[in-house]
Amino acid sequence: MDFRGRWVLLTGASSGLGLEMARVLAREHGANILAVARREERLVALREELTSKHGVQVVPLVADLARPGEPKRLFEAAVAGREVHGAILNAGVTFYGRALEQSPEDFQAMLATNVSSLVELSRHFASHLSAHRTPGGLMLVSSMAGFSPLPYQTAYAATKAFVISYGRGLAYELRDAGVSVTVFAPGGIATEMLEVSGLSRKFKAGDLGIMPADTCARLAVDAFARRRELYVPGLLNRFLALAMKVLPQGFLISRSAALYAGGLKPGP
């Protein structure tokens, strides 16, 4: 895909991977950005940064994707008077801890952010993207956590497994319309998510297997532009993904449980 002078919508643009993808899209591809998140001040700062440094257009769109009605409102605002060429559905939240300690409200917000809003936005954008002379593409951000059940991020891993399965099925269905669907499945990334969830008790920036957000963003945007169907960034991650395909699942679950248990808060 060629993004130069075209609009790309990006959810989760206020921090981490989304923020870095916005920078790559503006700097290296000359894309105009529809930047989506809840924290408006961060989106406004991003607009100042990208317009002054790269001369692209940036429109902040404040939306809480965990709330019903927001995906439709967001889509309508995004396409009002514009052709959108790409939509990167990257916003996501995790819960690190024992599954039974996650409140029902927190789980519902996770499900709406990671799954329901992503499906709804995919539906809206799929027809919009196919209507143009050069059909555009969608990128759904999943995780390697979606490749196998992951104790202590149990519900999160299940949402990411959904994204992989949904994205790959949708990619097939949209082939004839010319709309690509890229599923991006990174391993650990050094972002706010590690601190906010408490995962930083176990994993830190600079650790083996924790990728800098800007490196990960460059690989993500490249995979999206090349219309890759499933992309795991980094050699180590690709090796692990291959191992996850061939090793017995019971073994994988117990090894990852042992790894993640190391950063848990003491139980009740």
Ligand X SMILES: NC(=O)c1ccc[n+]([C@@H]2O[C@H](COP(=O)([O-])OP(=O)(O)OC[C@H]3O[C@@H](n4cnc5c(N)ncnc54)[C@H](OP(=O)(O)O)[C@@H]3O)[C@@H](O)[C@H]2O)c1
Give the CA diameter of the chain. Answer: 59
Give the tokens for residue 121: 């936005």
Residues 14, 122, 154, 237: which binds ligand X (CB under 6 A)? 14
Residues 91, 170, 217, 220: which binds ligand X (CB under 6 A)? 91
* Rg of the Cα atoms in the chain: 18
Q: How far is the CB of 240 from ligand X (least distance, A)?
A: 13
Task: Establish if 237 lies at the interface with ligand X (CB under 6 A).
Answer: no
How many other CB atoms sit within 10 Å of the CB of residue 208? 7
Residues 2, 76, 192, 207: which binds ligand X (CB under 6 A)? 192
Q: Which stretch binds ligand X (CB under 6 A): 24-32, 173-181, 183-191, 245-253?
A: 183-191
Q: For the chain, how far is it from start to end, CA to CA, in angstroms? A: 51
State how far the Cα of 136 lies from the Cα of 2, in Å rounded to an integer: 9
State how far the Cα of 84 lies from the Cα of 76, in Å rounded to an integer: 11
Q: Which stretch binds ligand X (CB under 6 A): 12-20, 80-88, 147-155, 247-255?
A: 12-20
Task: Establish if 15 lies at the interface with ligand X (CB under 6 A).
Answer: yes
Task: Establish if 139 lies at the interface with ligand X (CB under 6 A).
Answer: no
In sequence order, what are the residues at sequence separation of 6 or more whose Cβ sits closer than 8 angstroms to the Cβ of residue 251? Answer: none
Tokens 């963003």 belong to 217
Task: Establish if 17 lies at the interface with ligand X (CB under 6 A).
Answer: yes
The residue among 86, 95, 45 whose CA lies nearest residue 184 is: 86
Q: Which stretch binds ligand X (CB under 6 A): 35-43, 164-172, 224-232, 257-265?
A: 35-43
Please tell me which residue in 152, 156, 231, 260 is annotated as part of the active site. Answer: 156
State how far the Cα of 156 lies from the Cα of 107, in Å rounded to an integer: 9
Q: Tell me whether residue 156 is one of the annotated catalytic residues.
A: yes
Strand, coil or helix: 113? helix
Closer to ligand X at the Cβ: 18 or 86?
Answer: 18
Task: Establish if 121 lies at the interface with ligand X (CB under 6 A).
Answer: no
Cβ 24 vs Cβ 49: under 8 Å? no
Task: Establish if 60 lies at the interface with ligand X (CB under 6 A).
Answer: no
Q: Which stretch binds ligand X (CB under 6 A): 1-9, 32-40, 217-225, 257-265?
A: 32-40
Catalytic residue positions?
A: 156
Q: What residues make contact with ligand X under the rule CB under 6 A?
A: 11-18, 37-39, 63-66, 90-93, 113, 141, 143, 186, 188-189, 191-193, 196
